[in-house]
Amino acid sequence: MRSDCPVAIITGGAGGIGAAIGRSLAGAGFAVVVGFHRSAAAAERLAASLPGSGHVALSAPVTQSVGLQALAEAVAERYERCDVLVNCAGITRFVAHDDLEGLDDALIDEILATNVRGSFAALRALLPLLQASPRPGGAVVVNISSIAAQTAMGSNVMYCASKAAVDNMTRSLARALAPAVRVVSVSPGLVDTEFVKSLDPGWRDEQTVRTPLGRLASPQDVATVVLTAVRDLTFTTGCVLPVDGGRPLN
């Protein structure tokens, strides 16, 4: 199936943020590839529910380069193009910053392999398709980061470090891949996903109070900035776009 409309791939596409991004891009006329690792059923339901046509769920295991190469081959065969890559796959676990033993080697390796190497590996696998994008202004890569990269406050020390690495990588790759491919980071504050809503209400309320704009980010807030970066900010690359309600001000 050759696609005459632009094609967007979202790794971690079945999660709360990824799903919102998929709906926004589909509504803007993109054929959306909902990339998944273990959430095949959820990804397939999402792909079937998106507006427009041409959407599909495909395996996108970001820690497995062989699997990512298979994804690239499947996209090339199905669409013959890739115009947008959103690196949304990520992992973390709450570990107090002073609990150095709690942040064990296995968790450190998993966070870095998924959040940092995974974003790089997905781009590496899809780069030939991105560089050949016929979309005016070239292809776009959006890395989903976090204000933890700036504030060094987050679910654990290594998560913060991983997002700082993502932002640095965004700048390096933007320079290396211009002008054919733009690369930006979208950096949310605490996002009010179903997971966050399941946490202690008192803690969640405290985080809301600490946000100058008086609420947490929604998945749709993140999706709106992703779509804006892709569609409207055509002279923007190598930067970090915050979606945080002013949280770093506190």
The answer to whether residue 196 sits within a structural domain is yes
Is it the case that residue 182 has pLDDT exceeding 70? yes
Read off the tokens for 203: 């803690």
Which residue segment(s) compose the domain that 67 sits in? Answer: 7-240
The answer to whether residue 215 sits within a structural domain is yes
Mean pLDDT for the chain?
96
Q: Which of 129, 145, 28 is nearest to 83 (CA)?
A: 129
Is 159 among the residues known to form the active site? yes
The predicted-structure confidence for 44-70, as pLDDT tens digits, reads as follows 999 999 999 999 999 999 999 999 999
Answer yes or no: are the C-beta atoms of 29 and 234 closer than 8 Å. Answer: no
Average the pLDDT over 94-111 and give the result.
97
Q: Residue 198's pLDDT band (boundaries 50, 70, 90)?
A: confident
The answer to whether residue 217 sits within a structural domain is yes
pTM of the model: 0.95
Answer yes or no: are the C-beta atoms of 13 and 43 closer than 8 Å. Answer: yes
The answer to whether residue 26 sits within a structural domain is yes
Average the pLDDT over 213-240 and give the result.
97
Structure confidence at residue 199 (pLDDT): 82
The answer to whether residue 161 sits within a structural domain is yes
CA angle 76-125-131, nearest 5°? 70
The answer to whether residue 140 sits within a structural domain is yes
Gyration radius from the chain CA atoms: 17
Is it the case that residue 250 has pLDDT exceeding 90? no
Is it the case that residue 195 has pLDDT exceeding 90? no
Average the pLDDT over 203-223 and give the result.
94
CATH number of the domain encompassing residue 131: 3.40.50.720
Amino acid at 4: D
β-partners of residue 197 are none
Question: What is the percent of the chain where pLDDT is above 70?
Answer: 99
Q: Domain total for the chain?
A: 1
- Three-class secondary structure assignment of 44-73: HHHHHHCCCCCCEEEECCCCCHHHHHHHHH
Q: Which residue has the higher pLDDT, 219 or 1?
A: 219
Q: Residue 197's pLDDT band (boundaries 50, 70, 90)?
A: confident
The predicted-structure confidence for 125-157, as pLDDT tens digits, reads as follows 999 999 999 998 999 999 999 999 999 999 999
Cα–chain center distance at 78: 22
Is it the case that residue 3 has pLDDT exceeding 80? no
State how far the Cα of 141 lies from the Cα of 83, in Å rounded to an integer.
9
State how far the Cα of 192 lies from the Cα of 217, in Å rounded to an integer.
6
The answer to whether residue 1 sits within a structural domain is no
Is it the case that residue 2 has pLDDT exceeding 70? no
Read off the tokens for 150: 């700036």
Q: Which of 30, 36, 79, 159 is catalytic?
A: 159
The answer to whether residue 2 sits within a structural domain is no
Structure confidence at residue 7 (pLDDT): 98
